[in-house]
Amino acid sequence: GQQLNQSPQSMFIQEGEDVSMNCTSSSIFNTWLWYKQDPGEGPVLLIALYKAGELTSNGRLTAQFGITRKDSFLNISASIPSDVGIYFCAGAGGSGGSNYKLTFGKGTLLTVNP
Amino acid sequence: GAVVSQHPSWVICKSGTSVKIECRSLDFQATTMFWYRQFPKQSLMLMATSNEGSKATYEQGVEKDKFLINHASLTLSTLTVTSAHPEDSSFYICSASSRAGTGELFFGEGSRLTVL
């Protein structure tokens, strides 16, 4: 089945620093999504990407859908304490998979020191 | 974004009892909803796809008789954990898409199940 490799597994940064995390896949996806999950909560959608090469921003967040459709990155600029949480990438569709069924990365735990 | 709500947020039950978790799409109709399970410090694992008016589709290794799914309306899906055991303790999360075919899923708040 489709698998996603998400890195890094965890990050410890100072407030104000920029952050970058990425996901790679062994197969192609039609859609890449980035979610943030706070403890005890469901994931919240941050950015959705639908086209290869697409670069999309949401406030301090920027994400790109790789040209090969097998990778995506998420950047967070000027981090603040409330950015703390687990960030998940997810892919949907492609390689015969349903556009509804998501494959999740293992998550990146972000800690921001004030 | 679209709103998906789960109830209860947390539940504690005795071993052998059954527990029902509800998932509602509050501001859109969802013909398809998804149920995930998440263990501590792990990613979300898809359990089943809930289809309105028809039987759910279960992922490999998920017992359909153990995890009963009912999707009776376009805004409600329920997951019933039957004869729960301590190993069923987990965080259960549902999701739904407000736009067909986009893969853009919105998640509920999750339900923490603890089986004693």
pLDDT values of chain A reduced to their tens digit, one per residue, 114 residues = 567 899 999 999 999 999 999 999 998 999 999 999 998 999 999 999 999 999 999 999 999 999 999 999 999 999 999 999 999 999 988 765 666 778 899 999 999 999
Chain B residues within 8 Å of chain A (Cβ atoms): 1, 4, 6, 32, 34, 42-44, 46, 49, 91, 93, 95, 97, 101-110, 112
Tell me whether the omega of the peptide bond preceding residue A8 falls within 30 degrees of 0, making it cis: yes
CA distance, residue A17 to nearest chain B CA (Å): 25
In 3D space, the residue among B32, B43, B30, B35 whose CA is nearest the CA of residue B2 turns out to be: B30
Q: Answer yes or no: do B104 and A105 touch at CB < 8 A.
A: no
- Residue B66: HSE in the Cβ half-sphere, 13 Å Cα cutoff: 12
Tell me whether the omega of the peptide bond preceding residue B40 falls within 30 degrees of 0, making it cis: no
| CB of B58 closer than 8 Å to CB of B66 | no
